Amino acid sequence: MSEQTRRGRAVRWGVPIATVALVAGAIGAGPVIAAVQGDPVLPERTAAQLLADAVRATESGVKPMSGTVMQTASLGLPGLPEVAGMGGTSPAALLAGSHELKVWYGGEDRFRFALPGRMSETDLIVNGDQAWLWESETNKATRIKGAGQAGQDHDRAMPMATTPQQVADEALKRADAGTAVSVSNTEKVAGRPAYQLVLTPRDGSSLVKEVKLALDGETFVPLRVQVYAKSAAEPAFEIGFTSVTFTPPAPDNFTFTPPAGAKVEEKTLADLGSRPEGGQERAEALKGGLTTVGEGWTTVAVLPFSTQDLKGPAQRQGDRPGGQDAAVVTDALLKSARQVSGAWGSGKVIQTKLVSALLTDDGRLLVGAVTPEKLTEAAGRR
Amino acid sequence: MSTVSGQETVSIGTGAAPLPRARAVGALRAWLRLLGSEVGLTLRRPRNIAMLAVLALVPVLIGVALRTFGGPDETDGGPSVFGQVTGNGLFLTFAALSILVQLLLPVAVAVVAGDSVAGEAGLGTLRYLLAAPAGRTRLLGVKYANAVVFCLAAVAAVALSSLLAGVLLFPAGPITLLSGGTIPLLDGVLRIGVVVLYVTAGMAALAAVALAFSTMTEAAVGAIASTVGLVVVVQVLGVIPQLSVFQPYLLTHWWNGFDGVLRDPMATGEMGQGLLVFAAYIAVFGSIAWARFTGKDITC
Amino acid sequence: MLTVRERTPSATLPAEDCSIVTRGLTKRFRSGQVAVDALDLAVPRGSVFGFLGPNGSGKTTTIRMLLGLVAPTGGAWELLGTPMPGGTAAVLSRVGALVEGPAFYPYLSGEANLRRYDAADPAADPRTASARIGLALDRVGLAAAARKRYRAYSLGMRQRLAIAAALLGPRELLILDEPTNGLDPQGTREVRGLIKEIAAGGTTVFVSSHLLAEVEQMCSHIAVMRTGRLVAQGPIAGLRAGEAVRIRVETPDLAEAAAVLAASGLAQVRTGDGEVSAELGADAPERICAALVAGGVAVRGLAVQRPSLEDVFVGLTGEGFDVNG
Ligand SMILES: Nc1ncnc2c1ncn2[C@@H]1O[C@H](COP(=O)(O)OP(=O)(O)O)[C@@H](O)[C@H]1O
Ligand SMILES: [Mg+2]
């Protein structure tokens, strides 16, 4: 009889156990469904064919589309604290975690990007010669003059400026003798079959294991870029569509009227490009002293720099919103620095998953996607 | 008064068995009667009335404070909703809900849902309800439905008092969305309705957790304190960056996810995911509560 | 006849004539304590059934099991001819119950409290609720205090309200766990009268008590519990009639007296300190007296002893009862 009660109890508790299993199943169902459906198989293409297709597709203009882009960074920045209230627009915020960008693309000169934050949003709306930057956080609408020409100048790269396209271009430029290139035709991105170009550095001292670039199987639009570091199985950096539809977005996405009560400013593209507080000159000065050592994946940049330089601007920027975050990041990085010395001198090494930096005591900064050993080696070569 | 049908209903149990459909209708009516009794008990209880009053008071206080001291300067970097309240009173609803959903609303829901079974057990009334016979599954269903009704009442109390205070203290008019577009006032009120339903769903998920705790103890305070403690711990876990992978599975992470209604077009993606998470919590903790309650010895 | 454990109740009565039947009903708590051990009860329809036992003997646990509040760890039971716990929903509407004292919402009035319990019963008709609640309050003498908050009720009023809750509908069976607890003598008398009145209407009343006097005064049947075990059950009349009457002889001649009693055909002859006793049976005491005198026994005193119910139960349970209540 007590056997019966025991069985009753087992049956009863079976219900929540089954529910938990069901929920866990639903969470894991994405991969399972994908596995059951099997990999999509596209017609085979070589890397060269694929790139040609991609270029052709770009030349004939990207089809109208809309979608959501997700950017995920796990760069392994040491001790990076979560900055409270860090919105999606803060530069430091982009160094860790996931960030979402919404894209509506109606044509070369009609597009909208929206960067949603918690109870805030930043929008860039371009419609013909009208361009607006809207920042809900500050209730400010900025009319950008000369956007029309700029659109023509920058041409097709523009709509994809912060989408996979830009990053893809960068990765492709690097493809040279130092890179092994392979293509797979069984990827799936944002629910669409895609080709994937895999670029693997041949030099063992590179921190980059491989760069994967997924192109839509139908339109050859870059759908995703992933950068893998040698030290981790998950991508250190990833940007790609999580959903995409190649249908023209509703026209009212491209119209913008500054809402009542908003501050309206007018700026030219040049205004936006120049940095305040003499940033421009600093950039020029840096460029002047910049030299490189090595080439391809293991290029090391060498520039004159000192800890003071690093701290100075960060503190000054502290007065501006966003500058605070930069200061926090800088501090965190410096704190994690490791003292090294050798025949070349001595200095501090900062290492992340993808990038190493060496700050020598004689006032040089060496940066590269390479191991610290490679940096010290470069430091020795004057 | 005593019609023929009335007399038939009175003699249920001794007369011929009613048709299945009539029986189903009768069962539903009896269920609603018990729910009505439950809701009446909840809303007549001084403690619960006090909680609703406090919840309704907070938006008024926020509104008065904003009116008196002005919104935060944008250089403060504070949440922009507060700044927007002074421009449009309707934003007080969003500001108030996004603050209250963090702790005060969950506490109120935990009190009612955590008390629901354990409180009756502690009073001893549970044994008489079950001997009535209320039926264990039926009683648990009514208890949960009642908790959900209270969630709606609490969220609606916040929303209505915010609307009222917002309209009285600040200018009201077409709403500027986060995306910069503008929608008419009435549309804005409709979108507030969507937010009320979403937040209610989030609170209903917490109510399921509290109900499960409530079936495991005879001390209502224990169930309430465990629920509130859990909420606080999960809120803390949610802001630890090293644990950010777990965030999407945390209930509290989704409570605030209603800012999509303020975008153009309305961004339902996050709210849809939130609702799925809420549904999962309700299913898991609801079934735990059921398994526990239907197999429990009522010894007090 | 008082049946003692060997005779199973199902052998005594057909199950369909019983409002409550249990077979081997057992409850072993998590702590390992066996509160009720293989209980075989048969409560005849229409009876007022006294469920007697000292504190902690398992009465309340039995009642909780009957009502489906506590799951037995063994055995089976039927209420009103329906196997339980499957028939809980159908049967319990026809059963009124008072379990281990009153329990109500302190912030509600007596009337609102009854309405609450009535709402929990799916078979109760909401249209007749007010009338039924009024009637129930009236029957327990609480009509005047109906609007008062339960918090303000005295102990006795609370107990009455609990009885009223058990009387909310037309009941075929009332299960009352210590219904006179906390009542003054006047209240106790009223409840006793109420139970008799209800029973007269054909309702079976199963009433537990640790008070022998109470059970003796109102019950037609009785069952006795001792540490979770049933030690006796049957009609109370049989108990009174069936118990042996003894004859007790005071004498210095113990051996002779015992011999004479045995020779007269009496059973259970016992020799004590200055006295000899035996079961009298149907024999006339004067005949035994004559036989003793004829046998040369010096009879110093002679008494016929009718044992009280209390003696019987002390013998059965090994514990005393609070006879005065
Ligand atoms: N929940 C419980 N857990 C463990 N033991 C219990 C529990 N309830 C009652 N008991 C024990 O079971 C025995 C019978 O208790 P009860 O049925 O209340 O007796 P009665 O009502 O006859 O006084 C007692 O010894 C009591 O201590
Ligand atoms: Mg008891």
Q: What is the ipTM of this complex?
A: 0.87
Q: Is the pLDDT higher at A88 or at C27?
A: C27
In contact, A226 and A238? CB cutoff 8 Å: yes
B295: chain A residues, CB-CB within 8 Å: 8-9, 12-13
Q: Are residues A54 and A172 in the same domain?
A: yes
pLDDT for B77? 46
User: How many angstroms separate the CA of residue C4 from the nearest CA in chain A?
Assistant: 25
Number of domains in chain A: 2
Task: Report the DSSP beta bridge partners of residue C221.
Answer: C49, C235
pTM of the model: 0.80
Task: Report the DSSP beta bridge partners of residue A211.
Answer: A199, A227
Instruction: For residue C205, report the distance from its CA to the centre of ligand 2, in Å.
Output: 17
pLDDT for A234? 84
Q: Is the pLDDT higher at A185 or at B200?
A: B200
pLDDT bin (cut points 50, 70, 90) of residue B121 is very high
Signed CA dihedral, C307, C312, C315, C318: sign only = negative
Whole-angstrom CA distances from C155 to B125, C99, C134, C184 are 16, 15, 21, 10
Whether the link from the prior residue into C14 is cis, omega within 30° of 0, is no
- Give the span between the Cα atoms of C66 and C64, in whole angstroms: 5
pLDDT bin (cut points 50, 70, 90) of residue A282 is low
Q: Is the pLDDT higher at C240 or at B250?
A: B250
- Give the span between the Cα atoms of B67 and C193, in whole angstroms: 71
Structural element, H or E, at residue C1: none
Q: Are residues A143 and A279 in the same domain?
A: no
Signed CA dihedral, B33, B37, B40, B42: sign only = negative
* Strand pairing class (C48-52; C204-209): parallel
Q: What is the pLDDT of residues A235-277, one digit of tens each?
A: 888 999 998 999 899 888 888 888 877 888 888 776 665 544 4
The closest of C153, C156, C208 to C20, measured between CA atoms, is C208
Q: Are residues A219 and A317 in the same domain?
A: no
pLDDT surpassing 60 at residue C132: yes
- Give the span between the Cα atoms of B149 and B113, in whole angstroms: 11
Structural element, H or E, at residue B274: helix B269-294
pLDDT surpassing 80 at residue A184: yes
Residue ranges of the alpha helices (H) in B70-216? 80-87, 91-100, 104-123, 125-131, 136-169, 185-214
Q: Are residues A254 and A132 in the same domain?
A: yes
Give the single-character DSSP code of C109: B
Last residue of a domain, one of A237, A265, A293: A265
Structural element, H or E, at residue C176: strand C173-177
Q: Are residues A335 and A253 in the same domain?
A: no
Of A61-65, A190-194, A225-229, B63-67, minimum mean pLDDT range: A61-65
Of A189-198, A253-262, C241-250, minimum mean pLDDT range: C241-250
pLDDT for A88? 43
Kindly state the average pLDDT of the residues C43-47: 94
pLDDT for A86? 38
Residue A331: domain span = 274-380
In the block, residue with structure tokens 């015992």: C258
In a domain, A9, yes or no: no
State in Å, rounded, how far the first CA of chain C is from the last one.
27
Residue of A nearest to C28 (CA): A2
The closest of C223, C230, C225, C171 to C195, measured between CA atoms, is C171
Q: Is the pLDDT higher at B131 or at B242?
A: B131
Pocket test for ligand 1, best of C60, C65, C209 (most atoms within 8 A of CB): C60
Q: Are residues A251 and A311 in the same domain?
A: no
The closest of B254, C108, B80 to A262, measured between CA atoms, is B80
Kindly state the average pLDDT of the residues B204-221: 97
pLDDT for A170? 59
Average pLDDT over all residues of chain A: 76
C24: chain A residues, CB-CB within 8 Å: 1
pLDDT for A41? 77
- String of DSSP letters for C82-94: EEETTTHHHHGGG
Q: Is the pLDDT higher at B9 or at A260?
A: A260
Q: In the numeric block, which tokens belong to residue A213?
A: 């670039």
- Give the span between the Cα atoms of A181 and B144, in whole angstroms: 59
In the block, residue with structure tokens 């603050």: B99
Whole-angstrom CA distances from B98 to A118, B67, B73, B254, C85 are 10, 19, 19, 11, 48
In a domain, A57, yes or no: yes
- Give the span between the Cα atoms of A121 and A141, in whole angstroms: 12
Q: In the numeric block, which tokens belong to residue B270?
A: 């996050």
pLDDT bin (cut points 50, 70, 90) of residue B211 is very high
State in Å, rounded, how far the first CA of chain B is from the last one.
41
Whether the link from the prior residue into A222 is cis, omega within 30° of 0, is no
Contact A82 B241 (CB under 8 A): yes
Instruction: For residue C55, report the distance from its CA to the centre of ligand 2, in Å.
Output: 6
Residue of C nearest to B32 (CA): C119
- Give the span between the Cα atoms of B207 and B204, in whole angstroms: 5
Buried b (16+ CB within 10 A) or exposed e, A281-311: eeeeeeeeeeeebbeebbbbbbbebeeebbe
Signed CA dihedral, A368, A372, A374, A375: sign only = positive
In a domain, A238, yes or no: yes
Q: Are residues A282 and A371 in the same domain?
A: yes
pLDDT bin (cut points 50, 70, 90) of residue B80 is low
Which residues are near ligand 1 (CB < 6 Å)? B 299; C 29, 31, 33, 35, 53, 55-61
Share of chain B above pLDDT 90, in %: 66
The closest of A95, A90, A92, A81 to A335, measured between CA atoms, is A81
Q: Structural domains in chain C?
A: 3-241 (3.40.50.300), 246-306 (3.30.70)
Range among B8-17, C25-34, C183-192, C298-307 rated most confident: C25-34
In the block, residue with structure tokens 């909208």: A112
In contact, C71 and C54? CB cutoff 8 Å: no
Contact B125 C123 (CB under 8 A): no
* Strand pairing class (A120-127; A130-135): antiparallel
Q: Is the pLDDT higher at A75 or at A160?
A: A75
pLDDT for C10? 40
Q: What is the pLDDT of residues A337-379, one digit of tens each?
A: 888 888 888 888 888 888 888 888 888 888 888 888 888 888 8
Whole-angstrom CA distances from C278 to A293, A311, C287 are 124, 113, 14
Single-letter amino acid, residue A135: E
pLDDT surpassing 80 at residue A286: no
In contact, A65 and A221? CB cutoff 8 Å: yes
A97 lies within 8 A of chain B by CB: yes
**Which burial class, exposed, middle or buried, applies to C147 when counting CB atoms under 10 A from its CB (0-12, 13-18, 19+)?**
exposed
pLDDT surpassing 60 at residue A28: yes
User: How many angstroms separate the CA of residue A218 from the nearest CA in chain B?
Assistant: 25
Collapse the DSSP code of C173 into the 3-class scheme (helix H, G, I; strand E, B; otherwise coil) and give the result.
strand
- Give the span between the Cα atoms of A315 and A326, in whole angstroms: 9
The closest of A103, A86, A96 to A222, measured between CA atoms, is A103
Range among A54-58, A75-79, C7-11, C94-98 rated most confident: C94-98
Single-letter amino acid, residue B193: G
Contact A321 B77 (CB under 8 A): yes
pLDDT surpassing 60 at residue A314: no
**CB-CB neighbours of A152 under 10 Å:** 11
Q: In the numeric block, which tokens belong to residue A130?
A: 């009208």
Q: What is the CATH number of the domain that holds A295?
A: 3.30.310
Q: In the numeric block, which tokens belong to residue C48?
A: 């007022």
In contact, B234 and B250? CB cutoff 8 Å: yes
Last residue of a domain, one of A216, A242, A265: A265
pLDDT bin (cut points 50, 70, 90) of residue A159 is very low
Single-letter amino acid, residue A199: L
pLDDT bin (cut points 50, 70, 90) of residue A154 is very low
pLDDT surpassing 50 at residue C1: no
Range among A34-43, A185-194, C147-156 rated most confident: C147-156
Q: Are residues A186 and A299 in the same domain?
A: no
Task: Report the DSSP beta bridge partners of residue A303.
Answer: A365
Directed axis angle between helix C155-166 and helix C185-200, to 10°? 10
pLDDT bin (cut points 50, 70, 90) of residue C80 is very high
- Give the span between the Cα atoms of C292 and C63, in whole angstroms: 53
In contact, B173 and B88? CB cutoff 8 Å: yes
pLDDT bin (cut points 50, 70, 90) of residue C243 is low
pLDDT bin (cut points 50, 70, 90) of residue B118 is very high
pLDDT for B5? 37
- Give the span between the Cα atoms of B271 and A6, in whole angstroms: 42
Average pLDDT over all residues of chain C: 87
- Give the span between the Cα atoms of B79 and B84, in whole angstroms: 9
A2 lies within 8 A of chain C by CB: yes
In contact, C116 and C108? CB cutoff 8 Å: yes
Q: Are residues A289 and A209 in the same domain?
A: no
* Ramachandran quadrant class, B77 (left: phi over 0; alpha: psi -120 to 50; beta: rest): left
* B residues 99-158 lying closer than 8 A (beta carbon) to C: 123-125, 127-135, 138-139
Subunits with at least 3 CB pairs below 8 A relative to chain C? Answer: A, B
Q: Are residues A79 and A174 in the same domain?
A: yes
Q: In the numeric block, which tokens belong to residue C250?
A: 């005071």
Q: What is the pLDDT of residues B122-172, one digit of tens each?
A: 999 999 999 999 999 999 999 999 999 999 999 999 999 999 999 999 888
Contact A136 B178 (CB under 8 A): yes
Q: Are residues A280 and A256 in the same domain?
A: no
Q: Is the pLDDT higher at B220 or at B267?
A: B220
Q: What is the CATH number of the domain that holds A186?
A: 2.50.20.10
pLDDT surpassing 60 at residue C244: yes
Give the CA diameter of chain C.
Answer: 82
Q: Are residues A130 and A94 in the same domain?
A: yes
- Give the span between the Cα atoms of C25 and C72, in whole angstroms: 7
**Which burial class, exposed, middle or buried, applies to C318 when counting CB atoms under 10 A from its CB (0-12, 13-18, 19+)?**
exposed
**CB-CB neighbours of C263 under 10 Å:** 10
Give the single-character DSSP code of A259: P
- Give the span between the Cα atoms of C227 and B244, in whole angstroms: 59
- Give the span between the Cα atoms of A4 and A277, in whole angstroms: 81
Last residue of a domain, one of A216, A235, A265: A265
pLDDT surpassing 70 at residue A162: no
Give, in degrees to the nearest 5, the angle at Cα A177 between A171 and A183. Answer: 55
In a domain, A6, yes or no: no
Range among A86-100, A124-138, A272-286, C97-111 rated most confident: C97-111
- SS3 annotation, A286-305: HHHHCEEECCHHHCEEEEEC
A250 Cβ neighbours under 8 A, 6+ residues apart: B265
Kindly state the average pLDDT of the residues B78-82: 60
In contact, A13 and B291? CB cutoff 8 Å: yes
Kindly state the average pLDDT of the residues C132-136: 96
pLDDT surpassing 80 at residue C14: no
Signed CA dihedral, B299, C4, C6, C8: sign only = negative
In a domain, A253, yes or no: yes
Q: How many CA atoms lie within 13 A of A264 on its CB side?
A: 11
